[in-house]
Amino acid sequence: MSCLGKMRDEISSGFREVGEFRKTDDAIEVILRDCKEDTGVYVFASADRPLYVGETKMELGRRLYFYARPGSTQRTNIRVNGLLRDSMKLRGSVRILFFPLKHLESSLIRSIGPPWNETLK
């Protein structure tokens, strides 16, 4: 397998389910079981299908709050909020998968063993 193939496998295997969006009456609730204070890459998924990919440099819990309760000037958050609501009408919830950035570098170094990285081989 090529180094790029190993990197793809390492990244995809590093995602784990950390919570979900649920509809409650007229609101969207974010339920996070893990990684609330981490930064990284997140995926919203339903029925094993990725629906949206994003990256956060702020705490995950804070970032996801803005999707559930977007401000009037937050165009992307407003758009995704509507899509979340539509999806939850069909399936009840939307899963949140997450890959913490703090683990990405060490995972890739262990996986592909680049010669210039002396630690974590």
Look at the alpha carbons of 23, 27, 33, 38 in this order and tell me if their dihedral is positive or negative. positive
**What are the distances in angstroms from CA 101 to CA 28, 74, 79, 92?**
26, 24, 26, 29
Total number of domains in the chain: 1
Q: Which residues pair with 40 in a beta bridge?
A: 56, 100
Answer yes or no: is 24 within a domain: yes
Any domain includes 118: no
Tell me if residue 11 falls in helix, strand or coil.
helix
Distance separating alpha carbons of residues 60 and 37, to the nearest angstrom: 6
Q: Which of 42, 44, 53 is nearest to 86 (CA)?
A: 44
CATH number at residue 27: 3.40.1440.50
> Domain containing 105: what range?
3-109
Residue 120 resides in a domain? no
Query: Residue 42: inside a domain, yes or no?
Result: yes
pLDDT in tens, the chain (121 residues): 555 555 556 556 678 899 999 998 889 999 999 889 999 989 999 988 889 999 898 999 999 999 999 999 999 999 999 999 999 988 889 999 998 887 777 777 777 788 888 765 4
